[in-house]
Amino acid sequence: MIYQSGDWLMGGELEVLRPITWGDGLDEYRLTPNQLRVRFKQMEADVVFAFQLRNPIHNGHALLMTDTRKKLEERGFKRPVLLLHPLGGWTKDDDVPLPTRILQHEAVLDDGVLDRAFTVLAIFPSPMMYAGPTEVQWHAKARMNAGANFYIVG
**pLDDT of 105 higher than 90:** yes
CATH number of the 27-153 domain: 3.40.50.620
Closest CA to 51 of 92, 81, 89, 95: 81
The answer to whether the beta carbons of residues 146 and 38 sit under 8 Å apart is no
Write down the pTM of the prediction: 0.87
> In sequence order, what are the beta bridge partners of 32?
none
Instruction: Please name the residues in contact with 49: beta carbons below 8 A apart, sequence gap of 6 or more.
Output: 68, 69, 72, 80, 81, 82, 83, 148, 149, 150, 151, 152
The pLDDT confidence band at residue 1, using thresholds 50, 70 and 90, is low
> Domain extents for the chain?
27-153
State the CB neighbour count (10 A cutoff) for residue 40: 20
How much is the pLDDT for 59?
A: 95
Instruction: Return the ∠ at Cα 132 (arms to 127 and 138), rounded to 5°.
Output: 55
pLDDT tens digit sequence for 138-148: 999 999 999 99
Q: pLDDT tens digit string along 22-61?
A: 999 999 999 999 999 999 999 999 999 999 998 999 999 9
- The span from the CA of 143 to the CA of 47, in Å, is 13
